[in-house]
Amino acid sequence: EVTPSLPVPAEVERERNQVDVLCKLMSEFINSQKQAQLPAPDILQKTTNRVAELEHLIGKYQEKLDSLSEDKTMIIKERVEWERKYYDRDKQNYALLETLKKQGELLEKAKTELRHCKGFFSSANEDVLKELGIS
């Protein structure tokens, strides 16, 4: 005895065929993934060794960076000390220059006075006058 069936439109039949094809492709994909081989143990060991080597190098470079950072800090401190030292020295030199300018002005005034007084004192020491450039 035959089971009665309704006619299936062509569009529905096409969609059903597409679903069947997609199911087969999905099944093949899943099977291929199950059969995918795991990496060989020697590859895993090489990878582990390489990771360890790279971690060691990272540690070495970090130590070098830390050392350079310490050197930089030390150099900056030295520079600040030198700047302070030379600032103090320059400040002292400036103060000395101002003192010398004032003394030079006083010396010029004294020379002028000695020129005016040259004829008044017969005992004026000629050597002193020559040294001062007055003679």
Contact present, 94 and 116 (Cβ < 8 Å): no
Domain ranges of the chain: 42-108
Q: Is the pTM of this model over 0.75?
A: no
Helix and strand counts by DSSP (H, E) for the chain:
3, 0
Residue-wise pLDDT tens digits, 4-48: 666 777 888 888 889 989 999 998 888 887 766 666 778 888 989
Query: Shortest CA distance to 135 belongs to which of 23, 76, 14, 125?
Result: 125
Contact present, 108 and 102 (Cβ < 8 Å): no
Q: 34 versus 72: which is more confidently predicted?
A: 72
Q: Assign 120 a pLDDT band (cuts: 50, 70, 90).
A: low
Residue 124, Cβ density class (10 Å: 0-12 exposed, 13-18 middle, ≥19 buried): middle
User: Two tokens at 115?
Assistant: 């020129």
For residues 58 and 66, give the distance between their C-alpha atoms in angstroms, rounded to a whole number: 12
**Max CA pair span of the chain:** 166
Of the chain, the end-to-end C-alpha distance in Å amounts to 156
